[in-house]
Amino acid sequence: MWLLDLGLDVLKLPIYLDNHATTRTDPRVVEAMLPFFTEVYGNAASISHRFGWEAGEAVERARLQVAGAIGAEPKEIIFTSGATESDNLAIKGVALAMKRKGNHLVTSAAEHKAVLDTMKRLGREGWEVTVVPCDETGRVAVDSIAAVLCERTILVSIMAANNEVGTLNPIREIGRLCHDRGVIFHTDATQAVGKVPLGVLADNVDLLSLSGHKVYGPKGIGALYVRRRDPQVRLVPQLDGGGHERGMRSGTPAVPLIVGLGAAAELAARERPDESRRLLGLRECLHAGIAERVADVCLNGHPTERLPGNLNLSFAYLDGEALMMAMRDVAVSSGAACTAANPEPSHVLLAMGLNEEMARASLRFGLGRFSTSEEIEFTINAVAGAVERLRAHSAAWAVHDRSRAFDPAIGRI
Ligand SMILES: *Cc1c(COP(=O)(O)O)cnc(C)c1O
């Protein structure tokens, strides 16, 4: 780590702007977790002694905190190992439980792989899966879902906020449509929790996935909200064993992680209004700063209906990977490497209609709770500098730039 002295402010390098991939655990969350490793270490499922009771009470407190953050009842919260497991449990659980009612599942092309690949597997195993498109901003239209619902449809799964371009979906309207048609509605809200207002009742959600490490909590813990009334959602468990978590998810409760998720959820809910406003300000500053210094940059995703901390840009005639490497002091992610071993361009950007070149030219900036305006200022300079260096060596850019130089419509000499 380098310390860069900029007047009074000390900037710590590298700068972390990849908060959609994961977040730093908030020190307040770590503090809350610590006693549950060494002092209150009982098995929360042990009901015969104090060690177990205290652990059990901590788990129930956390359940209340998580429920509170999304407007649910504590009994409706199932702890899992993360959003991937929550997505799997929600989709496979409903698919198996409702087999006799129907075999049709609906999702969108912009979903996270935890949803898409789960759907793909069910498709191979005999379920009928419809993948509806998103528009050029990454949004799924209610009408496109209404158009594919049928008698056999049992579940619709549409994410609340996209993890690459930050686009928010009209989940309240999609949920209302599903309820009108007697279909279960699942939403992967991993990126939305603590960033945008969310309530399972108002938003007509039956199943909701969330993850600890995306909300400044620990990794390896998540939750699934499972509605108990109007309608009561039934799931076939994906893990068999001791019957923990109302039989839906066996396995000894991970007490320290659950306590951490609870604390993180409560902080996220409490600080959301102010924090979202702050992030939006920083994000707009980053966007404006880059747009002012760099030519031919396009915003990917929705201009307004997006996560406050998300900025996804394509830099024409550049490779996102190369640009990322050229600004090593800023940790972002590129649209070509969503999964580490897979340099394919992002399926989300392609689903939005970007061509392969523009998808590969994208960078995702994910601002978070610990981002500062000094970091944003540094990042603007780093991006502008890197783009300038790379374009200076790009033949394609030279041709483009020269042709524009003589274009009277643009008014450049
Ligand atoms: C990160 C993420 C996941 C996976 O969450 P894990 O807790 O890491 O399994 C799923 N969906 C979305 C939208 C995500 O951003």
State the pLDDT at residue 399.
82
DSSP state string for 55-118: HHHHHHHHHHHHHHHHT--GGGEEEESSHHHHHHHHHHHHHHHTTTT--EEEEETTS-HHHHHH
| pLDDT score of 395 | 78
> Quick one: pLDDT at residue 5?
53
Tell me what pLDDT residue 337 has.
Answer: 57
The DSSP output letter for 222 is E
CA 40 to chain centre: 32
Q: What is the pLDDT of residue 341?
A: 58
CA 10 – ligand 1 centroid, Å: 33
pLDDT of residue 99: 95
Span from the CA of 333 to the centroid of ligand 1 (angstroms):
15
Residues of the chain above pLDDT 90, percent: 90
CATH of domain 2-25+272-411: 3.90.1150.10
Nearest CA, atom 5, ligand 1: 83
* 166 close to ligand 1 (CB < 6 Angstrom): no
Residue 91, pLDDT score: 98
Q: Which tokens sit at 361?
A: 């030219």
Q: Calculate helix-pair angle for 50-70, 255-293, nearest 10 degrees.
A: 30
**pLDDT given at position 413:** 37
Mean pLDDT of 39-48: 93
How large is the average pLDDT for residues 254-279? 98
C-beta of 86 in contact with ligand 1 (< 6 A): no
Residue 16 three-state SS: strand
Q: Please state the domain extents for the chain.
A: 2-25+272-411, 27-268
Residue 410's pLDDT is what?
A: 47
Alpha carbons 21 and 29: distance in angstroms, whole number: 19
Mean pLDDT lowest for which of 152-161, 242-251, 253-262, 279-288?
242-251
Q: Is the CB of 114 under 6 A from ligand 1?
A: yes
Q: Is the pLDDT of residue 411 over 80?
A: no
User: 253, exposed or middle or buried, with CB in 10 Å at 0-12, 13-18, 19+?
Assistant: buried
Ligand 1 pocket check for 192: Cβ under 6 Å: no
Lowest-confidence segment of 2-11, 153-162, 290-299 by average pLDDT: 2-11
338 is catalytic: yes
Write the CATH number of the domain with boundaries 27-268. 3.40.640.10
pLDDT band at 412 (very low <50, low <70, confident <90, very high): very low
Residue of 134, 285, 298, 338 with catalytic role: 338
pLDDT in tens, 21-30: 999 999 999 9
Whether 256 has a pLDDT exceeding 60, the answer reads yes
Q: What is the pLDDT of residues 347-396, one digit of tens each?
A: 999 999 999 999 999 999 999 999 999 999 999 999 999 999 999 988 77
d(CA 162, ligand 1 centre) in Å: 10
Percent with pLDDT over 70 in the chain: 94
